[in-house]
Amino acid sequence: MAGRLDVRKTYKLYIGGAFPRSESGRSYAVADSRGRFLANASHASRKDARDAVVAARKAFDGWSGATAYNRGQVLYRVAELMEGRRDQFVEEVLAAEGGGRAKATAAVDAAIDRWVWYAGWTDKVAQVAGSANPVAGPYFNFSTPEPTGVVAALAPQSSSLLGLVSVVAPIVCVGNTVVVVTSADRPLPAVTLSEVLATSDVPGGVVNVLTGHAAELGPWLADHLDVNAIDLTGAAGDTDLAVDLEVRAAENTKRVLRSPAAEPDWTATPDGPRRILAFCETKTVWHPMGV
Amino acid sequence: MSSSAVAPFVAPDAIGDLAAATASDSALRRFLHGLPGVDQVGAEARAAGLATRSIKKDAKRWALDMIVAMTDLTTLEGADTPGKVRAMSAKAVQPEPGDPTCPSVAAVCVYPDLVAVAKRAVAGSSVAVASVATAFPSGRASLEVKLADVASAVDAGADEVDMVIDRGAFLAGRYSVVLEEIRAVKQACGRAHLKVILETGELATLDNVRRASWLAMAGGADFIKTSTGKAAQSATPPVTLVMLEAVRDFAEATGTVVGVKVAGGIRTSKEAVRYLVLVHETAGVEWLRPDRFRFGASSLLNDVLMQRAFQRTGRYHSADRVTLD
Amino acid sequence: MAVTTQVPDLVTPTWDYAPAPEARTLATIEASYDLFIGGDFVAPIDGRRFTTVDPSTGEPLAEVAEAGAADVDKAVRAARRAFIRWSKLPGAERGKYLFRIARLLQERSRELAVLESIDNGKPIRETRDVDLPLVAAHFFHHAGWADKLAWAGYGPDPQPLGVAGQIIPWNFPLLMLAWKIAPALACGNTVVLKPAETTPLTALAFADICRQAELPAGVVNIVTGAGETGRALVEHPGVDKVAFTGSTEVGRSIQRALAGTGKRLTLELGGKAANVIFDDAPVDQAIEGIVNGIFFNQGHVCCAGSRLLVQESVHDAVVARLKRRLRTLRLGDPLDKNTDIGAINSAEQLDRITALVDAGQAEGAVMWQPECRLPERGWWHAPTVFTGVAQSHRIAREEIFGPVVSVLTFRTPSEAVAKANNTPYGLSAGVWTEKGSRILWMAQRLRAGVVWANTFNRFDPASPFGGYKESGFGREGGRHGLAAYLRTGADA
């Protein structure tokens, strides 16, 4: 083949808004759906996970303190930027997942639309899940959903982009920050998504992306006492891992979104705000009514 | 008074100089509005909680006698006559004929023109004569008229004067006007004790009750009194709670002891005992004496007498067996 | 009747409230209690029993069956059998059973209040005026939900989960039972409930109420016992959902035990609530709020305001007022209607409180207690205030679960928030200020499931209750509480 030699991309981690290599210096070879070498991805270590949690915690106050309207605008902008890179995502998803261009295109489109869907939820969820409570006394009493805090998420192993977005977007839309471990074998679309996030208005640290293995990073995140909740979706099919992580999560009574028996069909419309509410706390405030 | 005088909690050391706090209209406003707020719901909950105290046996007998001794037996009607006042005064001196253990009431309370009659009727007893004054109950008259009203009562021999504050001036924020009027009346009282009626039913909020209480005390009140008994709302436990807190805090801050009088609408022993509990657990046991706490009432006395009889005999009593006054 | 009319002594007034005891005989206590399984009282299979005592005297009250694994199995099977018909019953009919129970609770409230005070040690004033009214209210509230679940916001056809295994603590025995059973039944579940080993009696009285209400056999089962009984219940494969209220330590062991089982779980655990007093607080009500926050129920309250955060500028004034107020608290016979502070629930709990109080003194905090004569028998602890407490002291970090408040100071609202949130717990918090915007600013930042602003320790069946962080997860009460007992959407 004659012509110009490609400039290849280095796929790195995304932590606190920066793109470091793994502190361990490790990387691993990523193959396409037919087993051909695609690229080396950073192989995140426990220390990368630790750093990512620190970044996520640091970003939490600002992100959770932003107005819901503002978070909606910011997340909608992610969709805008993805749309601009649509072809690149299609290529990467096709390479990672195979299955034909039409399917890859549909997955990318759905991923973009999923950001739009969750962007729209930011300023609805408190109305849907909140309430004014008619207590038997002279008190005004209301309940509102609030973000749980720092959430660790295991992204689906199969659906490299749509599955990832379907897990991350509901977590961050209410103001949580997230440390997500990508699909181990199909991490590259996640890194490109990180590049989108970095150039979007999502503050650094709100989404932290670790490429690597759930079985290696999961226990550190499940054990981590500054992680408030864990989404085990990516452990679908690996019962031993899921149980081990759930046991570890109990140390600080993490909220656990259990893994399904098998990876769900992500193209289906989300089942209401269920994934959002899995990472919400209900806060109830009382105040007397008097003169 | 230093700026710490309006420190929110009116700590004892923060109110060294009451004179400075009342020296100007603006200082007075700052001071009164610097008093800690009162949360109505919380105050009502506290009063309701104390109302569940269960007073039995000796404690109840003691309370019933104390209520009698704290009563200002009152008649404040347009139809009052010397005969009515004489009858009431006789009852005041000897509420329970034939029972020497029953104390006399603290005072009889009448309009100024009947003070002389009352004075004669209670002569030789421990019962004092109190008179309402200052254009009672509305207080809508010039200062000169109010002072003349006070003078007529004092000249006729009143031991105690129950004045009303100018609620209009208070609600309009003209606190200095209210204060100066209280001071003037206090002076006109001479040796007579001054009870300052806040008419709390017209002040509307417990914040205002607290401010008016401090205003009255700053003006020289010997007692602060809830109501005239002529307004739609008279004494209530939450209002009394706030006034008791005020006299407690005032004594702590200044060393000056001021009494509290609840008036209007208290008709049963049960209610009155609840007021005693409020006094006991708010201002303290030191306030459980007739020179620091009073009930302004008319029909209350007979209910207390019937309760006393029940305590004595173990039988519920008949109204036919207590005297009308 | 005695004729001892006193003339009041006007010179040195004293007024001692005479004892006003509620009649002990209002409550009937059997010598021995069996387990309530499948609508009948049945003896434990291995015949083991334990003694429940009156904490105000240390005297034994009754022998109570200790359910072993086989008894628990029997109870779960009874609940499973009952679930088949109970879950199919029209919501309106289920609701009517709950209404019946609510009415029976009201009718028997005086008896139940006395029984609760005897078994728990808490003052009759509280069981009568707080626990029992809330218990009945909880059943009334949830009765109305039973036929309206489709409109609760959990999808058009929410389904019950099955059998709920419920474990409750000793601090509000009957109220915690109500918080557990009422929503479970309203949503169409059946339950096996284990009351705390030191306070089983009102749960057993409730079993009798279930019979009076003619609740179908097996819908409610009560298994008495201690930790082992609880473990058998949690680990039973026939249980679909576990609801636990108690210590964080036990809560996390339950969470571990349920890993991989697919059983649903809600936890309501410990707390170390900050009660924040600003310099513009309505001070007299704030003092009441502090007292209610930490001395209510002897401080045996997971959401107790055990850390008093006072703005430094008013620290001395607040502490002085608090001490003056504490001198009026009346400690003693729980059945006396004038008692404010009753007995500590058990010797074990008293030891725990004492150990932490000792630690507080050893760490250099200054302890103060009002003059207060403790009864000679039973378990008691005087109301206790620690000043000069640092955030690092154990008494500022660990849940004491007793009548002990630690006073700390702050300078700015941000510092108050930072200190309030500086704990692994997150159950409740209090804020006292007259400034509305500051209340909302604080309420937004406090990481706690319940924020009481210018009030404290208020509860209502319509008001969701539960914690952030290590205070557990899930909510009890109101629409939110239903979620713990329903299978919805993709789960259904």
**Residue B4 confidence class, pLDDT cut points 50, 70, 90:** very low
C7/B290 CB distance under 8 A: no
Q: Is C370 within 8 Å of chain B by CB?
A: no
Does A136 lie at the interface with B, CB-CB under 8 angstroms?
no
* Beta carbons of C391 and C375 less than 8 angstroms apart: no
Is some CB atom of chain A closer than 8 A to the CB atom of C479?
yes
Out of B41, B204, B206, closest to residue A138 by CB: B41
The class (CATH top level) of A37-288 is alpha beta
CB of C338 less than 8 A from some CB of B: yes
Tokens of C344: 């500590």
| pLDDT tens across the length of chain C (492 residues) | 333 334 455 555 679 899 999 999 999 999 999 999 999 999 999 999 999 999 999 999 999 999 999 999 999 999 999 999 999 999 999 999 999 999 999 999 999 999 999 999 999 999 999 999 999 999 999 999 999 999 999 988 999 999 999 999 999 999 999 999 999 999 999 999 999 999 999 999 999 999 999 999 999 999 999 999 999 999 999 999 999 999 999 999 999 999 999 999 999 999 999 999 999 999 999 999 999 999 999 999 999 999 999 999 999 999 999 999 999 999 999 999 999 999 999 999 999 999 999 999 999 999 999 998 999 999 999 999 999 999 999 999 999 999 999 999 999 999 999 999 999 999 999 999 999 999 999 999 999 999 999 999 999 999 999 999 999 999 999 999 999 999 986 654
B/e letters for C254-278, b = 16+ CB within 10 Å, e = fewer, are bbbbbbbbebbbbbbbbbbbbbbbb
Residue percentage of chain B with pLDDT more than 90: 88
Per the CB < 8 Å rule, is B42 touching A288? yes
Q: Which residues of B are catalytic?
A: 162, 225, 261
**Strand, coil or helix: C124:** helix
Q: How far is CA C363 from CA B218, C16, C72, C351, C396, in A?
A: 46, 38, 45, 18, 11
Question: Of C22, C66, C126, C302, which one is the catalytic site residue?
Answer: C302
Q: How far is A174 from chain C (nearest CA, A)?
A: 14
Nearest CA in chain B to A288: B41
Radius of gyration of chain A (CA): 19
- Inter-chain CB pairs, A–B, below 8 Å: 17
Q: Inspect the interface and report whether the beta carbons of A288 and B40 lie closer than 8 Å.
A: yes
B37 contacts chain A (CB < 8 A): no
The shortest CB-CB distance from C282 to any of B42, B54, B62 is to B42
Is A288–B205 a contact, with Cβ atoms under 8 angstroms apart? no
Which 3 state secondary structure label does DSSP give A107?
A: helix
For chain B, the distance separating the N- and C-terminal CA atoms, rounded to the nearest angstrom, is 50
Contact residues on chain A for B40, CB-CB shorter than 8 A? 288, 290-291
Of A155, A105, A149, A136, nearest in space to A254 by CA: A149
pLDDT the model gives residue A53: 98
Task: Determine the 3-state secondary structure of A9 from DSSP.
Answer: coil
Chain B residues lying within 8 Å of A289, measured CB to CB: 41
CB contact under 8 A, B41 and A291: no
Copy the structure tokens of residue C347: 């010797």
Q: Give the N- to C-terminal CA distance of chain C in Å, as an integer.
A: 68
Rounded CA Rg of chain B: 19
Six-digit token pair at C152? 């609760």
From residue B163, how far is each of B81, B133, B194, B224 by CA, in Å?
21, 5, 7, 10
Selected residue of C1, C14, C17 to mutate for chain B interface (largest B Cβ count, 10 A): C17
pLDDT digits (tens, 9 = 90+) for B136-165: 999 999 999 999 999 999 999 999 999 999
Chain B within 8 Å of A142 (Cβ-Cβ)?
A: no
Tokens representing A208 are: 């932290």
Q: Does C451 touch chain A (CB under 8 A)?
A: yes
Mutation target among B38, B39, B40, B41 for the A interface, most CBs of A within 10 A: B41
Residues of A near C (Cβ–Cβ under 8 Å) read 128-129, 131, 133-137, 139, 141, 143, 148-149, 225, 228, 239, 242-243, 246-247, 249-253, 255, 258, 271-272, 274, 281-288
**Distance between CA atoms of residues C300 and C349, nearest Å:** 9
- Which residues, 6+ apart, have CB-to-CB distance to A13 below 8 Å? A19, A20, A21, A22, A42, A44, A48, A52, A209, A210, A211
Question: Which residues of chain A neighbour C443 with C-beta distances below 8 Å?
Answer: 283, 285
Exposure b/e, A122-150, CB count within 10 A at least 16 = b? bbebbeebbbebebeeebebbbbbbbbbb
pLDDT for C1: 34
Cα distances (Å, whole numbers) of residue A5 to A1, A11, A113, A268, C249: 10, 18, 35, 40, 61
How many other CB atoms are found less than 10 A from the CB of residue B26? Answer: 10
Alpha carbon distance C186, C477 (integer Å) = 12
The whole-angstrom distance between A142's CA and the closest CA on chain B is 18
Interatomic CA distance for residues A74 and A203, integer angstroms: 9
- pLDDT confidence of residue B6: 33
Contact B43 C285 (CB under 8 A): yes
The rounded distance, in Å, linking the Cα atoms of C179 and A105 is 50
Q: Do A291 and B40 touch (CB under 8 A)?
A: yes
Give the mean pLDDT of B1-28.
61
Asked if B324 has any chain A CB less than 8 Å from its own CB, the reply is no
Segment (H or E) for C205: helix C201-212
Report all structural domains of chain C as residue ranges with CATH numbers, in order of start.
24-269+470-491 (3.40.605.10), 274-461 (3.40.309.10)
Closest by CA position to C52, among listed C209, C222, C196, C247: C196
Residue C128 per-residue DSSP state? I
Specify the pairing of strand C472-473 against strand C264-268. antiparallel
Q: How far apart are CA B11 and CA B13, in angstroms?
A: 5
Contact check, Cβ <8 Å, A138/B205: no
Confidence bin at B324 (pLDDT 50/70/90):
confident
Closest CA to B153 of B144, B166, B163, B142: B163
Using the 8-state DSSP alphabet, how is residue A16 labeled?
T
* CA quadruple B92, B95, B99, B103: dihedral sign: negative
Which is nearest to C338 in space by CA: B96, B50, B151, A186?
B50
Distance from CA of B193 to the nearest CA of C (A): 19
Residues A214, A241: contact at Cβ < 8 Å? Answer: yes
User: With an 8 Å Cβ cutoff, are A290 and B204 in contact?
Assistant: no
Which residues in chain B have Cβ-Cβ distances shorter than 8 Å to C434? 37
pLDDT of A52-88, one tens digit each?
999 999 999 999 999 999 999 999 999 999 999 999 9
Subunits with at least 3 CB pairs below 8 A relative to chain C? Answer: A, B
| E-strand stretches of C303-377 | 307-311, 366-368
CA-to-CA dists, residue B80 to A222, B121, B132, angstroms:
85, 15, 14
Q: How far is B164 from chain C (nearest CA, A)?
A: 27
In chain A, the residue whose alpha carbon lies closest to the alpha carbon of C427 is A283
Query: Which stretches of chain A drop beneath a pLDDT of 70?
Result: 1-2
Closest CB to C451: pick one of A137, A149, A283: A283
The reported pLDDT for the residue numbered C491 is 59
Q: Is the pLDDT of residue B98 over 90?
A: no
Contact C282 B37 (CB under 8 A): yes
Nearest chain C Cα to B249, which residue? C321
CB contact at 8 A, C120 and C173: yes
Question: What CA–CA distances, in Å, run from B91 to B82, B297, B321?
Answer: 14, 13, 14
**Number of cross-chain residue pairs from A and C with Cβ atoms under 8 Å apart:** 114
Domains and CATH numbers, chain B: 29-315 (3.20.20.70)
pLDDT at B13 over 60: no
Q: Using an 8 Å CB-CB cutoff, list chain B residues near A290.
A: 39-41, 44
C252 vs A143: CB contact, 8 Å cut-off? no
Distance of residue B255 Cα from the nearest chain C Cα, in angstroms: 17
B 39-78: CB under 8 A from A: 39-42, 44
C-alpha dihedral (A50, A53, A55, A59), degrees to nearest 10: -170
Query: What residues does each domain of chain A span?
Result: 37-288
C438 touches chain B (CB under 8 A): no
Instruction: Inspect the interface and report whether the beta carbons of C269 and A281 lie closer than 8 Å.
Output: no
Nearest residue in chain C measured CA to CA from A251: C252
Residue B323 has what pLDDT?
A: 85
* CA closest to B205 among chain A residues: A291
Q: Which pLDDT does position C4 carry in this prediction?
A: 38
Neighbouring chains of B at 3+ CB pairs within 8 Å? Answer: A, C
The count of other CB atoms within 10 Å of the CB of residue B81 is 12
Q: Provide mean pLDDT across the span B249-272.
A: 96
What is the C-alpha separation between C368 and C290, in angstroms, rounded?
A: 15
Handedness of CA C109, C111, C116, C121 (dihedral sign): positive
Alpha-carbon gap: B205 to the closest alpha carbon of chain A (Å) = 6
The 3-class secondary structure across A47-75, one letter per residue, is HHHHHHHHHHHHHHHHHHHCCHHHHHHHH
A203 C-beta neighbours (distance < 10 Å), count = 17
Question: Which of A139, A251, A271 has its CB closest to that of C489?
Answer: A271
Predicted local confidence at residue B10, as pLDDT: 53
With cut-offs at 50, 70 and 90, classify the pLDDT of residue B21. confident
Q: Which residue of C has its CA nearest to A227?
A: C469
